[in-house]
A and B are shown apart, each in its own frame.
Chain A
Amino acid sequence: MSRESRMRENRASGAAGRAFALHAGAWWIWALGLATAASRTTNPLLLALLIGVAGYVVAARRTDAPWARSYGAFLKLGLAVIGIRLAFAVVLGSPIPGTHILVTLPEVPLPDWARGVRIGGRVSAEGLVFAFCDGLKLATLLVCVGAANALASPARLLKSLPGALYEAGVAVVVAMTFAPHLVADVQRLRAARRLRGRPDRGLKALLQVGLPVLEGALERSVALAAAMDARGYGRTAQVPAAVRHTTSALTLGGLLGVCAGTYGLLADTGAGYGLPLLIAGLVLALAGLHLGGRRSVRTRYRPDRWGARAWLVSASGVAVAALMIWAGTSAPQALHPPAVPLTPPALPLWPAASILIGLLPAFVAPAPDAGGAPSPQPTTHREETAK
C-alpha cells in the first residue's frame, strides 16, 4: 500500500497517526476542566461520575505508549489518598459533630498546651463519610491529571512552548525521561545485590544502591549533555544588543507588573488598579518572550496543529467546568450534601448531565492505532521488562 493511500485511510477512520493526533494542549485543557469541576463538589455521586467519564475517555482513546501506562499508577495514588484521609479521620478525629458512633478508640491523654488536638476517641459515621467525600475529591483531581498524562505525551505539550522557553522545556523533558531510567537502575542494582549474597529486599538494600544509582545517573547525564552538544543544542543566532536589552527590560518589567497586579487583586485595597496592572504586565512579559525567541535559531518539526477536534475536546472540558461553577452558585446544596444528618446523597440531574459533556472526546478525538503503527514486538518488549 502506498503512503498516500494509507494516509487517506487513516484520515477516513480518524486514526491517530501523527498528522491527525490531537494537540496535547487540548487534552490538558479538557482534563483541567474536569479537575476544576471536581474541585467544586463533594457529592460522591458526582465525583464518581467524573472519575467514570475520565476513565472511559482514557480507555477509549489512549495509545500504547509508555506514558499512557501511567494511568494505573494515578488510580492507585487516588486510592491511597482516600485511605490516608480516612485513617486521619479515625485517628485524629473529625471536626464534624456526629451522633452515630461506630467505635470508641482509647484516647491518648495530651497535655494542656495541645488542647484542640485529639488522638483516638470516638469515631462517628458522619465524620468518616465527610472524610471519604473529601478524599474522593482529591482522588478525582489526581485521576483527571492522570488522564491528561495518559492521553497526551508530556513531551509533546512542551514542544508547543514558545521558542524562548524551549531550553527550559528540554530540561523538563530530559528530567522526565530520566525518572524511568532511574527506576530501572534501582531495580537492576537491587537484583544485583542478590548476586553478592545480600538480601535484595528491604529498605537497607534500597539505601545501599543509592550511591551507585546516583553515580550512574550522573554519568548518563554527562553523556547526554555531550550528545546534545554534538547535535547542535544551544546554537544561537546573533542578535543586536538593542534587541537583547529590550528583551530583558520587557521581561523584567512584565514580571514586576504581574507581581504587583496579583498583589492588588488579592489585597483588600487596590482592586481597582490590580487587574489593569496584571494585564499590562502579562502583555509586556509575552512581548519579552516573543523577542527572546529571536535568539534561538530553532525550527519546529511537525508541530501539533490546533484543529476542529482540538476545539471540541478543549471546549467540552471548559463547558464541564463552567457549568459546575455555575451550579455551585445556583444549587450549592446539591453539590455539597451535608454530612450531618446522615442521608444518602442524591444525584442532582443537571450537574450530572453537564458532567457527561466531558465524554465528548471519546467520540471526537482520533482513535489510537486503527491500522496505524505496529505494536511493539514481543521480543524487544520482553527484553525491556527483563531489564
Chain B
Amino acid sequence: MIRFEQVSVSYDGAGRPALAGIDLTVPEGELCLLVGPSGVGKSTLLGTVSGLVPHFTGGTLRGRVTVDGRDTRTHRPRELADVVGTVGQDPLAHFVTDTVEDELAYGMESLGIPPATMRRRVEETLDLLGLAGLRDRPIATLSGGQRQRVAIGSVLTAHPKVLVLDEPTSALDPAAAEEVLAVLQRLVHDLGTTVLLAEHRLERVVQYADQVILLPGPGAAPVVGAPAEVMAASPVHPPVVALGRLAGWSPLPLSVRDARRRAAPLRERLEPQAPAAADDVPPGDGEPAASVSGLGVRHGHTVALHDVELSVRAGETVALMGRNGAGKSTLLRTLVGMHEPARGTVRVGGVAPHRTRPRDLLRHVGLVPQEPRDLLYADTVAAECAAADRDAGATPGTCRTLVSALLPDVSDATHPRDLSEGQRLALALAVVLTARPPLILLDEPTRGLDYAAKARLVEVLRDLAGQGHAIVLATHDVELAAELAHRVVIIAEGEIVADGPAAEVVVSSPAFAPQVAKILAPQQWLTVSQVRDALEEAS
C-alpha cells in the first residue's frame, strides 16, 4: 500500500539529511508502528506519506514514495486526500469548522462527494467512533479523547485507504488512549485500513502492531520487522519488554497478558523479597511544603475542585493522576495562586499563594506548565537565563549553571524554539529552579518525551527530591508515577478519591497500574529497576 524506494529527505541549511535510506513497504491492512527517539525524523517520514513533505514543508525528497500507486512527487497533498488521511499531533490545529458533524463532513465536501453519500458516511462514522451523542456539540467543549476521535473521524469519512497518525495518544489519559486505540484496531480489523502511526508511549500501542519500523538514530537506516524481533534490540522499549529482556524470555512478550503467562517462575523467585520502599522519605516533622484543606475552586458556575485535603512534605514526590479535566491542573494552578480558592485554605511555605506578590511567591513555589514554552520569552538560551536570574534576584549565572547541569550540550545562542521537547522542558525547569523554591510543581511533564528524555527527567527529579525539594506532578504517565512518586493522589470530578503510598494506590487500580505491577501482581513491584535490584541481590 505504501512503498518507500531509497527515500531520503534533507532540509535546506541542515547539515545532514533528516531521513536517509528508507526502503520499505507497508502492506495493505496492517497496523504499522513507527518508533525511535526524538528527533530521528518520525514526523518527516509520516509527512512524506501524506505529501506534506516536501510539498508543504519544503526540503528535498530523493527517491520515491508511492501510496496506492500514486507518486507523492507528482501528487500534491490535496490530490492524495482521498487515499491518505492524516491526523497531526495536536487535533485542535486540525479542525476547520466548529461543530462535530460539520467537521466530519468537511473533508468530503472538499472532495466533492454527493450529498446523499456524505450524509450516510457521517452517520456511519458517528456510530463507528462512538460519537453519535456528540454530533451537535461545539468542538471547543470536547475532552481530549473525544477531540482525538473526532479528528480521526474527520479523515475517515473520506474513506482513505491509509491513515497516518502522529502521536495519537500522547496527550490522553489511559482510558481515553484505550478508547482511541480500540477505534484503530477496529479500522484495521473490520475495514482493512492501513494504519501508520508514530508513538512515544510504546506501552500503550506496541501489542497492537503488525509491523514495527524502528528509526534508531538521525539519518540511520530503519530496522523493520515483527514487533517482538525489533523490540529485542530497540533502544526505545516499553517496561514489559525491559522486564522480558531482564528475565530472558523469548520470544519477547509485548502485552501484559503474554508476560503474565510467563511470569510465574519470576514471581516465585521474587517471592521472598519485598520491594524496597520506593525511596526514603525524610521524617515528616517541620512545616509541610504545601498544605491544602477544605479547598474548593470554581470556574464560573462549574465546581473545579471540591473539599480537597492535601499536604506535601519536604523531600516528598507526589503524583496527581486522574482523567483529562478532573482538576489536576487546577489544583497545581491554585498552589501558585492563579486561581483564588472559593473556600478552604491553601498555604505554601507559610503564605497564601493568591495573596502573595509573584516575585515573592517565586521563592516558595515554582510551576512548570503543561506547555513549557509558555515560560520562555527570550530569543536565546543565554538571554532567558539572564532574565531568570533577574526575576529571581539570584546571582548572575545561577540559571546558566543549572541549564548546563540539565542540558550539557546546549549553546548560549540557541533559540528556545529550536530545542527539542525534552530540552525545552529542562530549560523551563532550570528557570523555575533559579529561585530555589522548596516546592516544585510539574504539569504533564512527559508529554512528547521519549524514553531517554524521560529517564533523564526522572534522575533530575529524584536528585531534587533528595536535596529536600517537595515535588508535585500531574501526569497521565503511569510509568513515570511508578518510577518517581512516593505518594499517588487520584482526583476524579474535582475530588480526591485516593491518596496513599504509590505502591498501594496504583497496584489496586487497573487504569493507573504500571505494566510491571500488572505482570507481577499481587506482589507490589512497580518498576523494572526494582526487580533488577532484587534479582541482583538474590544472586
Spell out A's residues near B (CB within 8 Å): 17-18, 65-67, 153, 155, 170, 173-174, 177, 180, 188-189, 191-200, 208-209, 211-212, 215, 220, 223-235, 237, 297-302, 372-374, 376-386
Contact = CB atoms under 8 A, between A and B. Distances in A.
B523 to A, nearest CB: 35
Interface residues of B, number: 93
A230 B51 contact: yes
A229 B56 contact: yes
Contacts of B369: 192, 195
B383 interface: no
Interface stretch (B97-105, B235-243, B308-316, B528-536): B97-105
A242 B105 CA distance: 33
A298 B112 contact: yes
B50 interface: yes
B302 A372 contact: no
Contacts of B77: 226, 229-230
A229 B329 contact: no
B255 to A, nearest CB: 30
Interface in B238-257: none
A373 B302 contact: no
Given A200-B358, A299-B112, A380 B88 contact: no
Contacts of A66: 98, 138, 140-141
Contacts of A228: 96
Interface of B: 50-52, 55-57, 76-82, 84, 86, 88, 90, 93-99, 101-102, 105-115, 118-119, 122, 133-138, 140-143, 146, 154-155, 158, 299-300, 302-304, 323-327, 329-330, 333, 336-338, 357-359, 361-362, 366-367, 369, 371, 373-375, 377, 387-388, 391-392, 417, 431-432, 435, 493-494
Given A18-B101, A193-B358, A198-B358, A231 B154 contact: yes
B338 A191 contact: yes
Interface of A, helix, strand, loop or mixed by DSSP: helix
9 contacts: A65-B98, A196-B391, A224-B94, A226-B77, A231-B106, A231-B154, A235-B111, A302-B105, A386-B299
A226 B56 contact: yes
Contacts of B119: 301-302
Given A194-B336, A224-B94, A299 B493 contact: no
Nearest to A184: B140
B135 A373 contact: yes
A203 B93 CA distance: 29
A231 B98 contact: no
Contacts of B327: 382
Given A230-B50, A235-B110, 18 more contacts: A194-B361, A197-B358, A199-B357, A209-B377, A212-B377, A224-B93, A228-B96, A229-B56, A230-B52, A232-B111, A233-B110, A299-B113, A301-B108, A379-B493, A380-B142, A380-B324, A381-B141, A382-B325
Contacts of A300: 109, 115
Contact of B325 (A211, A234, A383): A383
Nearest to B119: A302
Q: Which 9 residue pairs across A and B have the least CB separation, nearest first? A: A232-B81, A301-B105, A383-B325, A197-B362, A232-B110, A297-B112, A223-B93, A373-B136, A385-B299
Given A194-B336, A233-B110, A380 B141 contact: yes
A170 B96 contact: yes
A299 B391 contact: no
A373 B99 CA distance: 12
Contacts of A384: 140-141
